[in-house]
Amino acid sequence: MTDRTCDAARKALLGGRRDEAHLAACVACTRFAAALSATDSALARDGREAASAPLPPDLRARILRRSGSPDAARPRGRLLEFALRAAAVAAVLVAGWTAVPASLEAAEIAAPEFPIDALGALPVPVGLPRFESLAEAPDVPDDAPWTGISLAAGALLVAGFAFARGGLR
């Protein structure tokens, strides 16, 4: 049996064809064909097992995170998420507005009767305020709705905790 004939038969085996006449006459090529068949069957078995086995959760999460399109993800949840974010920001704005000292409304500056020359006489503090000056700082209004703000803060914290533990982004 010539080497060239064996090479042609082994190339045919690798290509999925069997030269039965050559394999019947050549022991080495018959062994090669058996080894190739065993390798193919082992690969097929591993492929079936890999197809049915679940991915490790962390690897699955990483793959999804890297390949997921954010625009296509959870279209129905986006409106809810936007509403929740807008409500949270609105709560912050309302709470900040109600807790601002009344004197900050500072109508004198914006009012038309305020003389513009008087701007230069405003006592703008230079440097950091002294610690003792805290006693003269204006009060937060006593009539601020602390109960409502407290309840809103509690509700938001509980909701944030639930979202953090749950699946909502």
Give the alpha-carbon dihedral of 6, 11, 17, 20, to 10 degrees.
0
Q: Nearest CA to 96 among 142, 149, 138?
A: 149
- 43-82 binders of other proteins (CB under 8 A): 61, 64-66, 68-71, 73-74, 81
Using CB under 8 A as the binding rule, whether residue 92 contacts other proteins is answered as: yes
Ordered alpha helix ranges (H), 53-145: 57-67, 75-99, 107-110
The piece of 1-9, 28-36, 42-50, 154-162 that touches other proteins (CB under 8 A) is: 154-162
Measured distance CA(89)–CA(152) in Å, rounded: 12
Using CB under 8 A as the binding rule, whether residue 27 contacts other proteins is answered as: no
Cβ-based nearer residue to other proteins, 12 or 91: 91
Measured distance CA(127)–CA(137) in Å, rounded: 16
Q: Which residues contribute to the site for other proteins (CB under 8 A)?
A: 61, 64-66, 68-71, 73-74, 81, 84-85, 88-89, 91-93, 95-96, 99, 101, 103-104, 106-109, 118, 121-125, 128-129, 134-135, 137-140, 142, 144, 146, 149-150, 152-161, 163-165, 168-169
